[in-house]
Amino acid sequence: MARPDKAAAVAELTEQFRSSNAAVLTEYRGLTVAQLKTLRRSLGENAQYAVVKNTLTKIAANEAGITTLDDLFNGPTAVAFVTGDPVESAKGLRDFAKDNPNLVIKGGVLDGKALSADEIKKLADLESREVLLAKLAGAFKGKQTQAAQVFQALPSKLVRTVDALRAKQGEQGGAE
């Protein structure tokens, strides 16, 4: 029979997996407590970084419907549960790992899809959601402006064409 404290830990981890947009598994071997504290701050407000027990976390992930991470639960493992923008947290992990090579990104999951360590680094290279939305809005605004210019040009072009036809007919009528 499972101990109540372990069952509670599995239930809590399962809920964290279900409520998170993303989860990133890391190996923290060789990091000090002060470095882990700095890492937690660098992840932003929408991420929680927790050192976990592999067996309990594997059970919790499976209960949450995530079976693609099973191979990553070996060695000292910590999980960053991301509830907000996963790009911000991925950047925090990547930047911290550059300064502290003891932090190894193992892999993770984003919206139910497994991510390798390389894919998480590519995710970190993306711009934030707000910047991407602003660029998209700017592109739409630019296209609307171009469309408005085309629609304004059509009537004036028609008027110029009609005037040219009248002038040509006037020249032909005067020549006869």
* Coil, strand or helix at 162: helix
Give residue 81's pLDDT: 92
Give residue 87's pLDDT: 84
Give residue 176's pLDDT: 53
Query: Could you state, in order of their start, the residue ranges of all structural domains in the chain?
Result: 1-125, 128-175
Q: Structurally, what CATH architecture does the domain formed by 1-125 represent?
A: 2-Layer Sandwich (3.30)
CA separation for the pair 98, 80 (Å, rounded) = 17
Give residue 2's pLDDT: 65
Structure tokens at 63: 């209960």
Mean pLDDT of each 10-residue bin along the chain, 176 residues long: 79 89 89 89 85 89 86 88 86 88 89 85 76 76 71 74 82 64
Give residue 1's pLDDT: 40
Structure tokens at 10: 């599995």
* Coil, strand or helix at 23: strand
